[in-house]
Amino acid sequence: MNNCHLVILKKPYLDDILQRRKTIESRFTRTKRFFFGRVRPGDRLFLKLSSGPVCATATVNEVRSYEDLTPEKMREIKRRYNCYIRGSAKYWQSKMSCRFGLLVWLKDVEQIELHWIDKKDWRAWVVLTEKENFGLIEYGVPKTPLESRRARNF
């Protein structure tokens, strides 16, 4: 069975995903987070604007996990994948001391009707469970893809 995830994104990155310019979502951390090893091809992602609504879904196409990252390895990841990640120089500089990384290739990105959830913690990635799903699992299949509004402004 595939997992569902809530992925919180800053506006520039979410916009790039919705406009199909960003096709890899990256997460780099100094410590190993709960979602490492829990993201698999076929999983469903609910994409949420930071401090805003859930506004899109995507399917995981491919995943690569990294442990024991070094600045040299981070530079290589940047060189190989930044055209798909679309991280700024400031983004990459802030990630140079991270030891763990996750690259998630996205497919089937679809805007959905805006769905506001009651989430008050700081987690930027949540593996959804039956107990903790913010009503998204019941929300199910996107009600109405917004085909004509792919570049919607929030």
Chain segment 79-131, per-residue pLDDT in tens: 999 999 999 999 999 999 999 999 999 999 999 999 999 998 999 999 999 88
Indicate which CATH number applies to the domain containing 92: 2.30.130.30
Whether residue 149 lies inside any domain: the answer is: no
Summarize pLDDT for 14-46 with one digit per residue, the tens. 999 999 999 999 999 999 998 899 999 999 999
Whether residue 150 lies inside any domain: the answer is: no
Whether residue 73 lies inside any domain: the answer is: yes
Whether residue 152 lies inside any domain: the answer is: no
Whether residue 154 lies inside any domain: the answer is: no
In whole angstroms, what is the distance from residue 87 CA to residue 75 CA? 12
- Name which residue leads in pLDDT, 1 or 154: 1
Token pair 């790039």 is found at 16
Q: Per the structure, how many domains does the chain have?
A: 1
Whether residue 83 lies inside any domain: the answer is: yes
In whole angstroms, what is the distance from residue 151 CA to residue 154 CA? 10
SS3 at position 44: strand
| Full residue range of the structural domain in which residue 108 is found | 4-142
To the question of pTM greater than 0.75 for the whole model, the response is: yes
The torsion angle over the Cα atoms of residues 96, 88, 48 and 74, rounded to 10 degrees, is: -30
109, 9 in Cβ contact below 8 A?
no
The torsion angle over the Cα atoms of residues 128, 131, 133 and 138, rounded to 10 degrees, is: 120
Summarize pLDDT for 128-145 with one digit per residue, the tens. 998 899 988 865 543 344
Instruction: Tell whether the model's pLDDT for residue 146 goes beyond 70.
Output: no
